[in-house]
Amino acid sequence: MHRIDAERMASLLSYAEMYALAVMFLDWALNDPNIDPERRTGVMLRAVDFERLADHCGPHWRPTDPADGKDVIQFIATAQLDHMLRRS
């Protein structure tokens, strides 16, 4: 996991939020026609990092230092998770 601060992300995000970010980054990489190939690779690798972190933490993981939604990555993860749950 070279593209994310795994310790910080684990302290802020739940397992489901990490997976939601992985899905969001992968969808962005695969479906946004405005991303150049180099950026696309970086975005896909970020998706892999979030998926690996979620797998490492496990499905019962809860954030150890939640910032009560005040951190932008938490806000994005929560919004993406809500979006995914509404679509299913």
Q: What are 51-81's pLDDT values in tens digits?
A: 999 999 999 999 987 666 678 899 899 999 9
**The pTM is what?**
0.88
Q: What are 5-33's pLDDT values in tens digits?
A: 999 999 999 999 999 999 999 999 999 99
Which residue, chain included where needed, has tokens 């690798």?
Answer: 45
The pLDDT of residue 87: 87
Query: What's the half-sphere exposure (Cβ side, CA atoms, 13 Å) at 58?
Result: 2
- Using an 8 Å Cβ cutoff, are 6 and 53 in contact? yes
Mean pLDDT value of segment 37-55: 95
